[in-house]
Amino acid sequence: MALGRDAASAAVAALTGGFAFGHHDAASGRTVLAVDRFAMRTICYRVQDGRLRFAERADDLVGPDDPLDPQALFDYLYFHCIPSPRTVFKDVLRLPAGHMAWFEHGELTVAPYWTATFEDQGRAPVSFDALRDEFRATLEAAVKRDLDGGVPACFLSGGTDSSTVAGLIGKAAGQPAHTYSIGFEAQGYDEMAFARIAAKHFGTVHHEYYVTPDDLVKGIAAVAQSYDQPFGNSSALPAYYCAKVARDNGVTRMLAGDGGDELFGGNSRYAKQRVFGWYQGVPGPLRAGLMEPLLERTPLGNLPLLKKGKSYVEQAKVPMPERDEMYNLVLRLGLADVLTPEFLSRIDDRAPARLRRQVWDMAKTGSEVNRTLAFDWRFTLADSDLPKVRGTTALAGVSVRFPFLADDVLAFSLKLPAEYKLKGLKLRWFFKEALRGFLPDEIITKKKQGFGLPFGVWANKHAGLKALALDSLASLSQRGIVRPDFITTLVDKRLPEHPGYYGEMVWILMMLEQWLRKARPDGRALF
């Protein structure tokens, strides 16, 4: 007998690990889809001819003449990926993390079966020592479960998360981890020194690969076209080469450190947003009667010593998550300056903001820190970082697991006091203190970097990479999405002046065009 909706939701909520499934019950005509809490696995669907069709990839559900969704393409330019539930294909959707779909009698219902619920109120205090011991044991068990019996291996950036995984593999596997690190011959982008510190500390079998501009020229098209829709996370290329080296060494599964920042408060903007939050503690009459008029409506706000104060007030007045929009690259460049009038007429430029607000409001918590973490579980992890690692490792022929996203590690994070995640302005305070003595001190105190790609710097200097970028953007300028005059200014003026900043825009446009060359190779209409 088929389960009812409530029973089916409860059954899905009891599942553990990464999963995505679709089940069609022929007797009842009912189809049920579900995906895990972080969308470590993925499932897409569309209603067609009265049936719900589903597949792991969006491009498995379309034919050569199915139109693209202009709104999804705008979402890509906004987010540098296409967040669920949209996909790049019109009428094809992706199930968001922690959701299930129910299709019966021609009607489709999509709803969360799980919502982040933090235990941040009414809990009895727990000793730090007890929490530390529980955390270490829980994380070590998660690492042990994720090993596949082959060569024990992991990514190693030299940060706290990947270093922790490397160390715990040694304990769980009873042999040193094989660690894989990526470097760049570019000042300010290479943190191989920290990876070497971690490798030496834990006695790992360490492997290094330095990505070059020539590697990008060879790999950009393959990586861009391996995804089922445009994907602009620029660290995908380093992740691919890292996994490729591991596969060449006989590794079949790698563990990744993704999720540590988002579960335990490790991103620098968490502290930055707390500083803006302090403004609400200033008495209202002082804010409205003195600070805001003085800084925003008089010439004093433009004086060198007061400009930062004016900027602080302007940002602090805007609530989260809308405040984050003030840093959005395509919005800062100006939509009318970037996009063609025809494309703008096809899209709703406020749709991304509404989606962000919807996700922001979902978490059950009284803490803004916890709410920000849950927000990042959707947009940073489920829609960007996990597809990056999952897609590039698959392209290299390696499977991947994320021990920080194990259900018991998640449960521990949900009950951990918010002030342990961000203590004052100290990021991931508990995480670092709990692992003090296990991790090298240099790793605990280092600033986060990761596998950041020096694309803009290289694109200015390397002839082959620059030619690939220019050719890609020239082709894209003919597709009716981005204004040709914007592309000319971007590559001729802005990229040479500020390669680190504007290189990101060149990258996402280039990766869009490289994907379109596979999806629309013969110049067919996009929409």
Confirm whether 408 is domain-assigned. Answer: yes
Pairing assessment for the beta strands 20-25 and 44-48 based on DSSP bridges: unpaired
- The backbone torsions φ and ψ at residue 68, rounded to the nearest 5 degrees and listed phi first, read -85, 160
In a domain, 273, yes or no: no
Residues 258 and 397 in one domain: yes
Residues 202 and 336 in one domain: no
Q: Please, which residues have CB within 8 angstroms of residue 399's CB and are 6 or more apart in sequence? A: 148, 252, 253, 254, 393
Domain that holds residue 345: 293-366
Where do the DSSP E strands lie in 195-304?
205-211, 253-255
Could you give the number of structural domains in the chain? 4
Residue with tokens 């300028």: 477
pLDDT of 2 above 70: no
pLDDT of residue 122: 53
Is 122 among the domain residues? no
pLDDT digit string, tens, across residues 18-50? 999 999 888 888 999 999 999 999 999 999 999
- Residue 236: which of 342, 390, 354 has the closest Cα? 390
pLDDT digits (tens, 9 = 90+) for 459-489: 999 999 999 999 999 999 999 999 999 999 9
Q: Model confidence over 355-370: pLDDT tens digits?
A: 999 999 999 999 999 9
Average pLDDT over residues 317-322: 92
What is the structure's pLDDT at 1? 44
In a domain, residue 155? The reply is yes
Are both 254 and 139 inside the same structural domain?
yes
Residue 48: what are its φ and ψ, rounded to 5°?
-145, 125
Provide the percentage of residues in the chain whose pLDDT is more than 70: 97
Q: Are residues 23 and 86 in the same domain?
A: yes
- Would you give the distance in Å from CA 163 to the centre of its chain? 20
Same domain assignment for residues 107 and 144 = no
Based on the fold, state whether residues 135 and 251 are members of the same structural domain.
yes
- Whether 527 is in a domain gets the answer no
Q: Are 146 and 199 contained in the same domain?
A: yes
First to last CA, the chain: 43
Unique residue bearing structure tokens 């840093």 = 327
CB-count burial class (<10 Å; 0-12, 13-18, 19+) for 43: buried
What confidence tens digit (pLDDT) does each residue in 77-122 have? 999 999 999 999 999 999 999 999 999 989 999 999 999 999 875 5
Same domain, 397 and 467: no
What DSSP string runs through 135-181? HHHHHHHHHHHH--SS--EEE--SSHHHHHHHHHHHHHHSSPPEEEE
Boundary of a domain, candidates 309, 332, 366:
366
Rounded (10°) CA dihedral 143, 146, 147, 152: -60
pTM of the model: 0.94
Domain ends where: 317, 351, 366? 366
Residues 87 and 160 in one domain: no
